[in-house]
Chains A and B, each alone.
Chain A
Amino acid sequence: MTTRAINLRIGAFLVIVLSAVALLSLVWTPYDHTMLSVTEKFRPTSAAHWLGTDQLGRDVLSLLMAASVNSLAVAFIAVGVGGAIGTALGLTASACGGWVETAIMRLADLGFAFPALLFAIMLAAAFGPSLSNAILAIAFINVPIFARVARGAANQIWTRDYVLAGRAAGASQFSLTVEHVLPNISAALIVQATIEFAVAILAEAALSYLGLGAQPPMPSWGRMLNEAQTLMYLAPQLAIYPGLCIIAAVLGFGLLGDGLRDVSDPRLARGRA
């Protein structure tokens, strides 16, 4: 088995497990993750609490499971919204060319120059910290990324003879974009989306860690890390578990994205006759 097949498999495995756990947590968790219990504080691993309990007596496994939904949902919405807007902008730039293309891409450069964290802090300062503002900030950083990827890939497709044949047939720029360009760059976009998914999960964790994302009582791996850091010597496992979850999620989507990229590389996918 080649390295890239291994990457793809490990990535796919992690992503599938994570998604399954997240789906499961929607209908079942061992305990209610909001249930506090003064008597059950800092319990170690046991048959009743597989991963023990935290400083408020909540079941850690339940918390982690519930937080996984939060993580995936944030990444899904943020990458979806940012990716859709970015792709539309990139396709527009590529189809129009000229000053429209220049204007859109310079705006994208401007977006790149703006750190997501800074933007999130700005939003928090203006509208108060909330998960929706965190989503907005993560979506915002995805717009220029997808604009660039879409435009670069689309520019390649525009030079193909079949697009020219479409023009000769009389198809408009819009229908050429929808019928030829978008389907033929979809592989590149899916790969990028998978990789950005990993980045978004990390960003959500970072923002929640800073208190700019999920607000209590909404569970979040980032906030669990934050709450655990003062207890590092007392109960290091409270920081380790969410940390491992973040690593697994980021690694999973990262490897899956890399693997998909390798597989979708047209030079490897099909040799020309």
Chain B
Amino acid sequence: MKPFLEKLRQLYPSDRLYEDNARLTPYVSDGLTVFREKPIAVVMPLDSDEVVDTLKLCHEFCVPFVARGSGTSLSGGSLPIDEGIVISLNRLNRILSIDPDNRTARVQPGVINAHVSAAVTQHNLYFAPDPSSQSVCTIGGNLAFNSGGAHCLKYGMTSNHVLGIKVALPDGEIVHLGNDSLENVGPDCVGLFVGSEGLFGIALEIQLRLLPIPESFRTILASYDSLEAAGEAVGTVVASGILPGAMEIMDKLAIEAAEAAVNAGYPQDAEALLIIELDGEAAAVEAEFTALTAAIEQTQAKEIRIAQDNDERLLIWKGRKSAFSAVGRLSPDYLVQDGVVPRSKLGEALKEISRLGSESKLRVANVFHAGDGNLHPLILFDGKEKGALEKAEALAGKILRLCLKLGGSITGEHGVGVEKKAFMPEMFSEADLDAFKRIRQAIDPHEISNRGKMLPGHEAPALSHSGPHPLEKAGIISRM
């Protein structure tokens, strides 16, 4: 490792190369703190050339690296790699150009998601993907994990909003994927790169697609006496043929937490809350709104509220987007799951999750993208209690299996990361995983780019608690 570090020191001044304990320690975790691993160094490149030089060095010495933005991954996607380095992209945070006529913006990977929309709002444009962490998370991370958000239902995920990428492959070779068009010739390489969880190298420049800000919004809150009733209401709305911009559900625990965090004004007596937003041309939205209210009236809503102005609308969303972190008020620790079920199985899934929760004697808060069937059960536990983390992880595993059994997926938008890679063999066959591995190795023969993420195999992450991880016990993962 010494010769590698010596060369790294030639590349970076000491204020952009961290090797001491105090400066490495804060990088041991991202948004998922149950996994912790200390890198051998953290570097802070200032431009693309420095990134490429760093990759060439890593390739030469077979040193694994992970690119990191704001470290908000909920699947451990930016967890450092043992004996590896962290490439912090926070200073590659420039919006390089904005093209209002083509509705595109070219940005560096360290740009914060919300900053893109802020920079183009003067042109009446915005960047549609809106993960709850959008005020913090970076475009590079959105790209790597194909981040979603509340408005995926109508507008799709990050992948649907990336037109072109300048990529540094894991050996430092530069390649341009896509272009400035929605269309493409040849295989959709941009499509493959987005969501590859950092296994194919580092995006240096990203051409984003922007959308005109909708002329009009209608945001509706409907409260229900049970989570199931809210779930069924989603079915009613979908069946009516209306395509809302977003359809979200929060349960009582999540409402309580969000309310404590931002005073969003949610009804406090509701067991479940359904948030529906329509957007588009004013005339079209008004016509849809009439149809939507008619549909909701058929459901068992006990109260229907409509946001009266934009401030009220933003407050409703602020509450929803703070919900995950706000659950920190209810419990010292929690695990967030991200499974997806077919929309018609929502009610069934929620009932079973609640049953599994009480069986494990753990509280589960629910806040999720109902329109997409993308669940976010938050499993609350107290890490100080012996065996609590293991119990929570076991419940998380049961929930993931439930999603698969119902024909869904183990992750809708948080990615596999380290957290769910042990479940990949349950979703994919050996041949499928082998194909993934072949693609990975063709692009990254030494497997240095974010080693240990998404694909099963390789070293298990360091765990903060003592005793073997339940997945270790099951023989699925192992620790060095």
- Are A and B subunits of one complex? no
Task: Using CB atoms and an 8 Å cutoff, list the residues of chain A in contact with chain B.
Answer: none
Task: Using CB atoms and an 8 Å cutoff, list the residues of chain B in contact with chain A.
Answer: none
